[in-house]
Amino acid sequence: MHLNDWLDEQVPAISRELEAINRAEFFRERTIGFAGKEKVKRLIHQLRSALFPGIYERERINEDQAGILIHNSVRLAAMTLDELAQCAYRECCTKDTQQRREPCGECARRAAQVVRTTIGALPTLRRQLQADIQAAYYGDPAATSPEEIMLSYPTFEAISIHRLAHVIHQCQLPMIPRMMSEYAHQRTGIDIHPGATIGESFFIDHGTGVVIGETCTIGNHVKIYQGVTLGARSFDLDADGNPVKGVKRHPDIDDHVVIYAGATVLGGDTRIGHHSIIGGNVWLTRSVPPYSMVHNAQPSPAIRDVSPKTQQEL
């Protein structure tokens, strides 16, 4: 049978089966599934154009036009966020998919509140991000200027999106903050849950593989290297075997702590005291006092047996 004949014969039934599964499993609980990913990306672009005009544009802008660009970006961001937020709230406030298409006054009111809080927070966020840029400049001898941080450091991408997502997350808007943090994760390898609380002058160097959990708190002047996990050690299940949500399960990191590459720090009652240094590849599930130095023993080298047939053997 020719492929086209086979397709003509089989595709209708396959398609109907796929549609039925989607209707049963997924459409009933849809929130902002339709086209949400593209819109969240646009929101991030508009918010960052407002905060750092010029860095994210496709064409060079004239410095005199910066004011207009900022103004436009703020208005566009407000519009996009309003649209996303109304959509997210509306689809949560009813299970009737027909009603979800109608405007809803309560959803509009809550969305407007998210927009006001987020847009109103921009100048404060901009100042915080300037301190983060300085922290990267002082924290990395390879950095030659603050602008290099903005143009080529993943820490800047991750922390700028996190601080925006955190503000929106605190407004109790579902879904959107996590889509924002995952956008940053995809581009940087740095996965910060929007619920995490992060202090001033934060710097993640390189960053690939960093995970900062939802209930983590981080003080001021903290520096973290690639591959560091601030995660959960365990979690409780309810009577139905489902994980209990909303429990504190990630560590607290105090001021002026440095954590080297690949260290794993787990647990909601784990606290790293201020001015501590955690060495690379350390595995830690309990608290350490201020000014601690924690590092693994270094294995002694043995002489390698260079066998003729096997390329590598450990």
In the complex with a copy of itself, which residue's Cβ is closer, 153 or 202?
Answer: 153
Q: Least distance (Å) from a copy of itself to the CB of residue 199? A: 19
Residues 6+ apart with CB under 8 A from 185: 191, 192
In the complex with a copy of itself, which residue's Cβ is closer, 45 or 199?
Answer: 45
- Give strand pairing partners of 223: 203, 258
What's the token pair of residue 113? 């509140």
Q: For residues 67 and 305, what is the distance between their CA atoms, to the nearest angstrom? A: 67
Please give the C-alpha separations between residue 193 and each of 2, 33, 97, 163, 250, in angstroms, as whole numbers. 50, 20, 29, 11, 11
In the complex with a copy of itself, which residue's Cβ is closer, 148 or 199?
Answer: 148
Q: Least distance (Å) from a copy of itself to the CB of residue 221? A: 11
Q: Name residue 168's amino acid.
A: I
Handedness of CA 267, 270, 274, 280 (dihedral sign): negative
Helices (H), 52-65: none
In the complex with a copy of itself, which residue's Cβ is closer, 103 or 313?
Answer: 313
In the complex with a copy of itself, which residue's Cβ is closer, 199 or 209?
Answer: 209
Q: For residues 182 and 34, what is the distance between their CA atoms, to the nearest angstrom? A: 17
Q: Least distance (Å) from a copy of itself to the CB of residue 33? A: 5
Q: Least distance (Å) from a copy of itself to the CB of residue 11? A: 5
Q: Least distance (Å) from a copy of itself to the CB of residue 163? A: 14
Q: Least distance (Å) from a copy of itself to the CB of residue 277? A: 6
In the complex with a copy of itself, which residue's Cβ is closer, 217 or 292?
Answer: 292
In the complex with a copy of itself, which residue's Cβ is closer, 106 or 120?
Answer: 120
Q: Least distance (Å) from a copy of itself to the CB of residue 16? A: 7
What number of other Cβ atoms are within 10 A of residue 212's Cβ? 28
Please give the C-alpha separations between residue 306 and each of 26, 301, 310, in angstroms, as whole numbers. 56, 15, 8
Q: Least distance (Å) from a copy of itself to the CB of residue 303? A: 6
Q: Is 48 helix (H, G, I), strand (E, B) or coil?
A: helix
In the complex with a copy of itself, which residue's Cβ is closer, 199 or 282?
Answer: 282
What's the token pair of residue 106? 């309560």
What's the token pair of residue 201? 């002058």
Question: Looking up tokens 């996590």, which residue turns up?
Answer: 178
DSSP readout, 248-284? --S-EE-TT-EE-TT-EEE-TT-EE-TT-EE-TT-EE
Question: Looking up tokens 């047996």, which residue turns up?
Answer: 305
